[in-house]
Amino acid sequence: MNTSIVSEQQHRRLHPHKFALWVAIASILMMFAGLTSAFIVKSNQSGWRTFVLPNIFWISTVLILASSLTMLMAVKAFKSRGLQQYRTLLGITFALGAAFVICQVLGFEQLWNNNVQFKGASGAGQFFYAIAGLHAVHVIGGVVALLVIFLKSIAGKTKSYDAVPVEVMSMYWHFVDLLWLYLMLFFIILG
């Protein structure tokens, strides 16, 4: 892809797709910065209610950290032409990502049963649903992308040694991982 529009000289620079992803990351960060600063503004006002984070979110944190590790190893395997290993690691990453999303949903359910709900007075819980929910949507996007490149690595007839798509995938995946760490810390400290 794009061989015709990326000239030799341009290959030495950052690949446009990677660059575009960096800009997209900045953009997504602005959204979460907006939401978390809204949280801070609101938390100083009267009628604010806090909540206790269910322990299951620690499990999901471990899952997504592990998935980042397997993603890292998958890229290494791809670059050293270890296709079989690459497939396995990609599959594990996908499974961990999906497990993360399931854990989040279970966590939301627990929180809901602990009487942190939408109705009535405003509070940290309502923000948590909105912010962690939006994060989960971004993870789901990543999980779908993982599934696509996983299926491609199995079913693809033509072998591609171009590392850029895999690297772009792993950049995004590390980003949603780090974003979750930030949100987790944020809610532990301020929630």
Enumerate binding residues for other proteins (CB under 8 A).
1-7, 9-10, 13-17, 19-20, 23-24, 26-28, 30-35, 38, 41-42, 45-49, 118-123, 126-127, 129-130, 134
Q: What does the alpha-carbon distance between residue 140 and residue 100 come to, in Å, rounded to a whole number?
A: 10
CB of 75 to other proteins, least distance (A): 21
Cβ neighbours of 143 (radius 10 Å): 23
Report the residue number, 28 or 69, with the smaller CB distance to other proteins: 28
Report the residue number, 33 or 181, with the smaller CB distance to other proteins: 33
Q: What does the alpha-carbon distance between residue 42 and residue 190 come to, in Å, rounded to a whole number?
A: 12
Tokens encoding 16: 């446009």
Report the residue number, 74 or 131, with the smaller CB distance to other proteins: 131
> Hunting for tokens 């050293």 — which residue is that?
80
CB of 31 to other proteins, least distance (A): 4
CB of 154 to other proteins, least distance (A): 23
Virtual CA dihedral for 73, 74, 75, 78, nearest 10 degrees? 120
Of 135, 126, 136, 128, residue with least CA distance to 98:
136
Counting Cβ atoms within 10 Å, is residue 178 exposed (0-12), middle (13-18) or buried (19+)? middle
Report the residue number, 89 or 169, with the smaller CB distance to other proteins: 169
CB of 105 to other proteins, least distance (A): 16
CB of 80 to other proteins, least distance (A): 28
Cβ neighbours of 33 (radius 10 Å): 11
Report the residue number, 47 or 159, with the smaller CB distance to other proteins: 47
